[in-house]
Amino acid sequence: MKRPLTVVVSIAYEGERGDEPEQRLKGEGVGDLRHSLEALSREPGPLLRALRRPLTIERLGRHPLGNLAIASAAAALGDYGQASLWLGEQLGIEAAVLPATTEPVRREIERVPRSAPGQPTGGPGPPLRMLRFVGDSIESPRPAIVAIKRARWALLAPGDLYRGVLATAAVPDIAAALRGTSASVVWIANLEAEPDEPADLTAMDHLELLRSHGVRVDTVLHDPSAALKCDPAELERRGVELVSRPFRSTEGRATHDPNQLRSALAALIEPVPTWGPASDREAGRSGPTRRH
């Protein structure tokens, strides 16, 4: 079934070597997958309420039933992608919510010198913190790859850079699909640095990290009031388009306002046409021109 929206989220987790079976039994790492399914479910029925309910199980501890249900369905259906699609159907979700990997994988952060082979040479400075995935098979669900290849727009949502954005977009199969898709890849920039990041970090530093992990970015959607500043001249030099729109919430410095962000994305993806000779030449194109 063709769906208008596909959401891909990470199910990678932090852990110690050798603890993979225990983590999978707990449904560890699937919190974002469960949250996405809950957010897209329109009916607050008994199934949704049950998935949100925390349970305490001897030896496993206290976990939301939804996490355990996803892990159990994955064991029955063969992988976490099939489990998520099945659970989404039970919740009446029109979109597809898929994990970035077919199975949970462990993630680690490794410090790599900037002069290391294959890394951008940024001159002197602290080593790059590179995300690394650990697992026997780091593969992505085929429906996620197909959706990226067929998409018109691929949005890299804001969030924790390592735990969320890179843990999803830097998975080898996902990153390769983003590099090869005809869609325009739009990164929604964070508003400020994470608590464990240097205070003087900029959006350009985040972009460098995305690119050093092999993640393609065509357009940066950026709030001009963000603490993480963009450099328009540097973006132009790199062939990346900058779209400035206000979408900061009045309730928190690092919080995006859903309505303003929705409006910014709508203006980017479906701009209002201006009829006339110039617009006739632009017929069939929606959104900014992608530059490489």
Residues 241 and 218 sit within 8 Å (Cβ to Cβ): yes
Confidence grade of residue 19 (pLDDT, cut at 50, 70, 90): low
* Mean of pLDDT values over 128-145: 89
Q: Is the pLDDT of residue 124 over 70?
A: no
In this predicted structure, what is the pLDDT of residue 171?
A: 97
Count of H-run helices and E-run strands, the chain: 12, 10
Domains belonging to the chain, first-starting first, are 151-272 (3.40.50.10680)
Contacts 24+ apart (CB under 8 A), 56-65: 60/25, 60/26, 61/26, 63/26, 63/27, 64/27, 64/31, 64/34
In this predicted structure, what is the pLDDT of residue 65?
A: 83
In this predicted structure, what is the pLDDT of residue 81?
A: 94
Q: Measured between alpha carbons, how far is 81 from 152 in angstroms, rounded to an integer?
A: 22
> What is the residue type of 37?
L
| Range scoring the smallest mean pLDDT among 113-117, 131-135, 231-235 | 113-117
pLDDT in tens, 229-273: 999 999 999 999 999 999 988 876 678 898 999 999 999 887 645
| Residue whose C-alpha is closest to residue 162's, from 116, 128, 127, 199 | 128
Q: Is the pLDDT of residue 121 over 60?
A: no
- Can you give the length of the chain in residues? 292
What is the rounded average pLDDT for all residues in the chain?
82
